A and B are shown apart, each in its own frame.
With several copies, the nearest count.
Chain A
Amino acid sequence: DHDVAQYAQWLGDDALVLAQRLGAWISRAPELEEDIALGNIALDLVGQARSLLHHAGTADGRSEDDLAYFRDETEFRSSWLVEQPNGDFAATIARQLVASTYMHELYARLQHASEPTLAAIAAKAVLEVAYHRDHAVQWTLRLGDGTDESRRRMVAGLDAVWPYVDELFADTPLIDRLGDRAVRPSTLREPVLAALRDVLRQAGLAEPDLPPAPCGGRAGRHSEYLGYILAEMQVLARQHPGASW
């Protein structure tokens, strides 16, 4: 079904692009435990991306790799949030906090969706993203309530991602068509923001007072970062079209 395939690309591309970002941390993290933790999160996300893109591809006979490596930028459906750069560790944690809280609420609902494959993928993913969220929450508390410097950086990290939170909750005609086969993004706004505010409160951090940016990732209108991400991700596969690996 073409609509389900589109929706699976929303979720799959978010997972894939975020995995790509996190993958760049490995061997560069502040401590060995974080090389492993961020690697683990990236690995879960690649796994989710594979399931989702595989499912998306069944609609028109494309493989997960056809979708990952041979779509151009405008064909991607990732949100601007996950395309944002790693920045320092605090910026990455801020992005993780928002992304994992969103994904957790999303998959918790999607596991009850009427589309069985999406529901099954979500049922597995929700357990993984619960861990991702715990990881981000712990670090938000540590950085928010650690040293002056960590607090300053955590505030800057939250400011950097906050304009891109709103995009995650935008409904589209696709969502109307999908009905109970998908999760309506607007229904996630309240629980996600409530969960985020709760963490910020515990960490002694204020919610950033920044207006949302109009984005458009779900319609293929991306941040200026995605082009660079795809150039790197796809370079080898595209150098050898048709090859097996």
Chain B
Amino acid sequence: MTTTTEAPPRDDQQVFDALIEADSRVEPRDWMPDAYRRTLVRQISQHAHSEIIGMQPEANWITRAPSLKRKAILIAKVQDEGGHGLYLYSAAQTLGASREDMLDQLHAGKARYSSIFNYPARTWADMGAIGWLVDGAAICNQVALCRTSYGPYARAMVRICKEESFHQRQGFEILLALSRGTEEQHQMAQDAVDRWYRPALMMFGPPDAESPNSRQSMAWKIKRVSNDELRRRFVGMCVPQFEALGLTMPDPELRFDEETGQWEPGPIDWDEFHEILAGRGPLNAERMRRRRAAHDEGAWVRDAAAAYARKQTERPAPAGASNHKEVAA
């Protein structure tokens, strides 16, 4: 199944296989199959891109947050997402990918990001629903990834998971305040979870039966838990929380399977999922345009920083310039 360009020395492959078998971590200096490396770069950069694009729907509400406390929490959250993007690009860089290339791929429309961010964030309650449901689904995925076989990725996940669980709690709190607020606020909260619940379920990817890539990832222990299993765990987590929120779960066909002891969601409209993946979501074009615009309009700034850095190394620094600490790259 692996498609290395050169056949590896027999012992490299054996060492790698043994590492995986033993649930040990693969580290950047270790030999690894090319396909393993490529799969990881694709997955990690896709995850990083999702953090970056995912900043947009929430950033739209920073200037309109309805209390100063909520404004502060939202800024901190969006900022964390930027930070997650940075860790993840760094993790991918340990595999030999450059951040510039990864961003170029994103801007050229050749790299994916989580398609859930192609839905609009229509109301303030969406800040709650995104935090609670979208970050909640992300955590289900990411908790599993804390045990992924590639070391730097696993460690980034540990750090990210901690912050994401804050975000999820904050999302829950936003919804709780709305649900217990005025009639209009309650309605706003219900409307938001009605819109975000299904897309959140789709975040776990297609059903296991239709997810051929998953198998190799499971064998490599990049992926540790199957899509359907993660989805069930998430639904199970949602059931009591919806109740605590006093909101209705928008899935009339949800049922509890007595045999497995798990909640089973009703059927999912995978056509919609594939439409959005294929670029036909409400905001696919919009999100990409804004990302590209930020990058393009910032080109002169990055050029200036590079030119300045070059000048600094080429000439002795003037006496006064040295006592300013370096704040941003």
- Contact A233/B64 with A146-B304, A147-B304, A147-B307 known, Cβ cut-off 8 Å: yes
User: B280's contact among A42, A143, A214, A242, by CB below 8 Å, is which?
Assistant: A214
Q: Contact check, A146 vs B68: say whether CB atoms are below 8 A apart.
A: no
CB-CB under 8 A from A24, the residues of chain B are 62-63
Q: Contact check, B86 vs A237: say whether CB atoms are below 8 A apart.
A: no
- Does B298 reach chain A (CB closer than 8 Å)? yes
How big is chain A's contact interface, by range? Answer: 35 or more
Question: Contact mask B80-92 → A, CB, 8 Å, 1/0?
Answer: 0011011001000
- Does B301 reach chain A (CB closer than 8 Å)? yes
Q: Contact check, B57 vs A224: say whether CB atoms are below 8 A apart.
A: yes
CB-CB under 8 A from A160, the residues of chain B are 285, 289
CB-CB under 8 A from B120, the residues of chain A are 221-224
- Does B59 reach chain A (CB closer than 8 Å)? yes
CB-CB under 8 A from A240, the residues of chain B are 66, 181-182, 184-185
Within 8 A of A (CB), among B287-312: 289-290, 293-295, 297-305, 307-308, 311
CB-CB under 8 A from B57, the residues of chain A are 224
Q: Contact check, A142 vs B75: say whether CB atoms are below 8 A apart.
A: no
CB distance from B118 to the nearest CB of A (A): 9
Question: Contact mask A224-235 → B, CB, 8 Å, 1/0?
Answer: 100100011101
Q: Contact check, A235 vs B64: say whether CB atoms are below 8 A apart.
A: yes
User: A134's contact among B78, B278, B324, by CB below 8 Å, is which?
Assistant: B324
Q: Contact check, B294 vs A244: say whether CB atoms are below 8 A apart.
A: no
Q: Contact check, B328 vs A27: say whether CB atoms are below 8 A apart.
A: no
Q: Contact check, A243 vs B181: say whether CB atoms are below 8 A apart.
A: yes
Q: Contact check, B75 vs A43: say whether CB atoms are below 8 A apart.
A: yes
CB-CB under 8 A from B86, the residues of chain A are 32-33, 36
CA of A68 to CA of B64, assembled, Å: 12
- Does B111 reach chain A (CB closer than 8 Å)? no
| Minimum CB distance partner of B325 in chain A | A134
Question: Contact mask A169-212 → B, CB, 8 Å, 1/0?
Answer: 00000000000000000000000000000100110000000111
Q: Contact check, A236 vs B282: say whether CB atoms are below 8 A apart.
A: no
User: B69's contact among A34, A36, A50, A73, by CB below 8 Å, is which?
Assistant: A50
CA of A43 to CA of B75, assembled, Å: 6
CB-CB under 8 A from B65, the residues of chain A are 236
Do most interface residues of chain A lie in helix, strand or loop, or is the interface mixed?
A: helix
- Does B222 reach chain A (CB closer than 8 Å)? no
- Does A150 reach chain B (CB closer than 8 Å)? yes
Within 8 A of B (CB), among A1-52: 16, 19-20, 23-24, 26-37, 39-40, 42-43, 46-47, 49-50
Q: Contact check, B75 vs A149: say whether CB atoms are below 8 A apart.
A: no
User: B327's contact among A50, A131, A201, A211, by CB below 8 Å, is which?
Assistant: A131
Q: Contact check, A35 vs B301: say whether CB atoms are below 8 A apart.
A: no
CB distance from B304 to the nearest CB of A (A): 3
Q: Contact check, A224 vs B60: say whether CB atoms are below 8 A apart.
A: yes
- Does B283 reach chain A (CB closer than 8 Å)? yes
CA of A108 to CA of B235, assembled, Å: 52
Within 8 A of A (CB), among B148-171: none
CB-CB under 8 A from A27, the residues of chain B are 55-56, 59, 78, 290, 294
Within 8 A of B (CB), among A120-165: 131, 134-135, 137-139, 141-143, 145-147, 149-150, 153, 159-160, 163
Q: Contact check, B79 vs A36: say whether CB atoms are below 8 A apart.
A: yes
CA of A34 to CA of B82, assembled, Å: 9
Q: Contact check, B300 vs A26: say whether CB atoms are below 8 A apart.
A: no
CB-CB under 8 A from B327, the residues of chain A are 37, 131, 134-135, 138
- Does B67 reach chain A (CB closer than 8 Å)? yes
CB-CB under 8 A from B302, the residues of chain A are 30-31
- Contact A213/B329 with A26-B55, A240-B66, A240-B184 known, Cβ cut-off 8 Å: no
9 A–B pairs (Cβ distance < 8 Å), ordered by A: A20-B63, A29-B298, A30-B298, A31-B301, A32-B82, A69-B67, A73-B123, A198-B320, A243-B182
- Seen from chain A, the residues whose Cβ lies within 8 Å of a Cβ on chain B are 16, 19-20, 23-24, 26-37, 39-40, 42-43, 46-47, 49-50, 53, 64-65, 68-69, 73, 88-89, 131, 134-135, 137-139, 141-143, 145-147, 149-150, 153, 159-160, 163, 198, 201-202, 210-216, 221-224, 227, 231-233, 235-237, 240, 242-245
The 5 closest A-B pairs by CB, nearest first: A30-B298, A146-B304, A150-B304, A30-B301, A39-B79
Not counting A27-B59, A198-B320, a sample of 4 additional A-B residue pairs whose C-beta atoms are within 8 angstroms of each other reads A35-B55, A35-B82, A150-B300, A227-B64
